[in-house]
Amino acid sequence: MSSPNRLDRTDIGILNQLQQNARITNAELARAVNLSPTPCFNRVRALEKLGLFRRQVTLLNAEALGLRINVFIQVSMARQDEDALQRFESAVAERPEVMECYLMTGDADYLLRVVVPDMRSLERFILERLTKIPGISNIRSSFALKQVRYKTALPLPAGGLTLSQSDETHDDWA
């Protein structure tokens, strides 16, 4: 790394490679970013120490596993006080079918992405789980007809990134 708070092109290259394939060997990674294995390994460890890696996972094929229904559910709360929001967030965090949950601005307070095998499972989730959470005033569902794009890799600037600028606008994004 070029400095403790600056990611250079090589660091960005390492991050991009790892986002595409977390199981890449150090030797393959080193070749991909034009480094020898030891400096590449050291850079990966330094990036890890900066807290840039949340975790490594295997992305499964939902359709092949019979999880064919992908639904987005907007939830409005009767009150937006801290206790009500915390109760809701704790309840949805326990549900395995809830893939994502966001506190939102706009018409709804929360947006959930829920994956289930069939309509009966969705009905049970909504009626037996979601509506039982205290404080919900409205639930609206939208079904995904087709997944047009899905990715997990974050967009990284081509030229490098100063970590202390993370809250500012970046002019170096490509």
- pLDDT grade for 6, boundaries at 50, 70 and 90: confident
Tens digits of residue pLDDT in 80-139: 999 999 999 999 999 999 999 999 999 999 999 999 999 999 999 999 999 999 999 999
Structure pTM? 0.84
CB 87 within 8 A of CB 81: no
Report if residue 174 sits inside a domain. Answer: no
DSSP string, 94-149: T-TTEEEEEE-SSS-SEEEEEEESSHHHHHHIIIIIGGGSTTEEEEEEEE-S----
Residues 130 and 79 in one domain: yes
Report if residue 167 sits inside a domain. Answer: no
d(CA 14, CA 7): 10
Boundaries of domain holding 11: 6-57
Residues 39 and 86 in one domain: no
Report if residue 153 sits inside a domain. Answer: no
CATH of the domain at 40: 1.10.10.10
Report if residue 155 sits inside a domain. Answer: no
Residues 22 and 45 in one domain: yes
Tens digits of residue pLDDT in 32-42: 999 999 999 99
pLDDT at 126: 98
Q: How many domains does one find in the chain?
A: 2
pLDDT at 1: 56
Report if residue 84 sits inside a domain. Answer: yes
CATH of the domain at 118: 3.30.70.920
